[in-house]
Structure 1
Amino acid sequence: MKVVVIGGTGLIGSKVVEKLNAHGHDASPAAPQTGCNTITNEGVTEAVTGADVLIDVSNSPSFADDDVMSFFVTSTTNLIAAAKEAGVEHYVALSIVGADRLPDSGYLRAKVAQEKLIVESGIPYTIVRATQFFEFSTAIANSSTIDGKAHLSTAFYQPMASDDVATAVGRAAAGEPVNGIVETGGPQKVRMSEFIAAALARTGDEREIVGDPHATYFGTELQDDSLVPGPDAVLGTTSYEGWLAGSGR
């Protein structure tokens, strides 16, 4: 099976390419570094030509509301056109658990817009919604820091290892299109404020954590289970402790 991975040089994409090739598929990365720019449309047709499956794990370079919406709408529109022309049989996209439950977040609104374009494209598809990555714990804290204090939601979430995210995406790509959404998450449901506090402490980051049920997460207030996957989610097996040990952090 020939697979093109948009965003295939990034954290998730590079792992997806590696995993698919290790299982006998012909997977190749496509990104600006390889001459494929989904915003300008340069190299997109060439990258997608001959592919059986298109995987999109790309991300916007800016999280500003207008920028991120423009990125996902423009990029996805260009990819759909190229995929149709190339006769792609399966369109797989990585999204976020709870995206449709949190419209106050500009980033999550953009992900929902991306999903809608794919659903309405007429191409068989699978959307993989994943929870937050262990790797982004510091970024979450940084985005919530005011005057040296990280104001973090006390809502639940189920962070996971990026390697498990890549496994879920690769599994979806190797399977038949579900023409719907599949969810994946980490093995443990935890309070965001408590988890981030422990994660920062492990790195020697001594900033104060303020647990606040009204603290916003990338522009939106969370309900207790806003970011938690449903009962049918396929959970990753890597614990935070296991990830730390394996990554050498």
Structure 2
Amino acid sequence: MADRLILVTGGTGPLGRPLVRSLLEGGARVRVLTRQLPGRRVEGAEYAVANYIAGSGLARALVGVSGVVHVAHDLSDPLRDVQGTLNLLEVARAAGRPHFAYVSIVGARRVRGFGSYAGKVRGEELVEASGLPHLILRATQFHHFADGLLTQASRLPRLLVPDGVLQSVAVEDVARELARRVLAGERGTLDFAGPEVLRIPDMARAWLAARGRAGRVLPLRLPLPHPVLRAMQRGDLVEPEAPRGTVTWADFLSKKAARG
């Protein structure tokens, strides 16, 4: 799919920006779908103003594209997010049936009672039923998700964390893998994971050490109220047999500490 025009939703976000750069480096032309033009733009990309949830501007944005990579995700409202995916698929079918890549989450089907993950599962189903040539890439939790989880937990005197495991992955690794497979026109469903399956208490201790902070990590073994935390305890959000990235949790912490 090199030298062809690929539309990227969510191209101004933490995964979208490195994805846009990776696609450009692979020889593709890239059009970023955005609700408003960003102040910071990736050099070499073009930008189309549209709203995938409302459906406005989509037909114009898809003119001439041979591929769509749907990275955008509305965490605040899963129903709106599903509607946005449906809007994109419908317009894509009318715009020449481009290859459609969708980013989902490893283990989402194993998490019950959490709307955001249910929305991702429903999005997968819509893509599979769309009749479009498609690729679904499920990634494990991003390093910055684990970082945010620990930041919230650190507000208490002790660092209370689920006694479970994560296999967090760098967004840059996901971006490169996704771009490589999109440019090759690959189809099907695959998982992509971080390089290590780590116990969350060990991740928390490394997180504290990287900040030069003292503190006690307290692993929580009782069933936790949030379905995602329970999934971590059960080990439902890892995929040890999946292809893996290379940026470790320690690499992520070191880089973040260097940035200050």
TM-score range, shorter chain: 0.7 to 0.9
Bigger CA radius of gyration: 2
Percent identity among equivalent residues?
Answer: 28
CA apart distance, 1:25: 0.7
Describe how 1:23-34 pairs up with structure 2 within 5 A.
23-34=26-37
1:47 aligns with 2:61: yes
Using the alignment, how far apart are the partners of 2:220 and 2:125 within structure 1? 33
CA apart distance, 1:105: 2.1
Determine the structure 1 residue equivalent to 2:95. Answer: 86
CA apart distance, 1:49: 1.7
CA apart distance, 1:71: 2.4
Determine the structure 1 residue equivalent to 2:106. Answer: 97
Q: Contact between 1:153 and 1:212, CA under 8 Å: does it hold in 2?
A: yes
Aligned to 1:159, the other structure's residue is in SS state coil
Describe how 1:190-209 pairs up with structure 2 within 5 A.
190-204=198-212, 209=217
Describe how 1:182-193 pairs up with structure 2 within 5 A.
182-193=190-201
Using the alignment, how far apart are the partners of 1:208 and 1:230 within structure 2? 29
- Please, what TM-score do these two structures have when normalized by structure 1? 0.87
Q: Contact between 1:14 and 1:29, CA under 8 Å: does it hold in 2?
A: no
1:224 aligns with 2:237: no
Pick one of 16, 21, 39 that aligns with 2:19: 16
Alpha-carbon RMSD across the aligned residues, in angstroms, is 2.3
| Distance verdict in 2 for CA 1:205–1:91, change over 3 Å | farther
CA apart distance, 1:245: 4.3
CA apart distance, 1:86: 1.1
Write out per-residue CA displacement over residues 139-182 of structure 1, whole angstroms, 9 at most, x where no aligned residue. Answer: 22356578555542222221111100111211221123323x21
Write out per-residue CA displacement over residues 12-59 of structure 1, whole angstroms, 9 at most, x where no aligned residue. Answer: 111111111111111121121242211111221111221111001112
Using the alignment, how far apart are the partners of 2:152 and 2:97 within structure 1? 38
- Please, what TM-score do these two structures have when normalized by structure 2? 0.84
Determine the structure 2 residue equivalent to 1:58. Answer: 72
Using the alignment, how far apart are the partners of 2:161 and 2:224 within structure 1? 6
- Code of the aligned partner of 1:110: G
Aligned to 1:236, the other structure's residue is in SS state coil
Q: Contact between 2:20 and 2:30, CA under 8 Å: does it hold in 1?
A: yes
Aligned to 2:68, the other structure's residue is in SS state strand
| Distance verdict in 2 for CA 1:208–1:30, change over 3 Å | farther
Describe how 1:133-212 pairs up with structure 2 within 5 A.
133-142=142-151, 149-179=158-188, 181-204=189-212, 209-212=217-220
Write out per-residue CA displacement over residues 184-238 of structure 1, whole angstroms, 9 at most, x where no aligned residue. Answer: 111111012321342244235666543123235555512533011152x210011
Unaligned runs of 5+ in 1: none
- Code of the aligned partner of 1:37: N
Unaligned runs of 5+ in 2: 38-48
Using the alignment, how far apart are the partners of 2:215 and 2:96 within structure 1? 52
| Distance verdict in 2 for CA 1:112–1:150, change over 3 Å | farther
Determine the structure 1 residue equivalent to 2:5. Answer: 2
Count residues with an aligned counterpart: 242
Aligned to 1:172, the other structure's residue is in SS state helix
Q: Which 10-residue stretch deviates more, 50-59 or 138-147?
A: 138-147
Pick one of 62, 71, 75 that aligns with 2:80: 71
CA apart distance, 1:91: 0.7
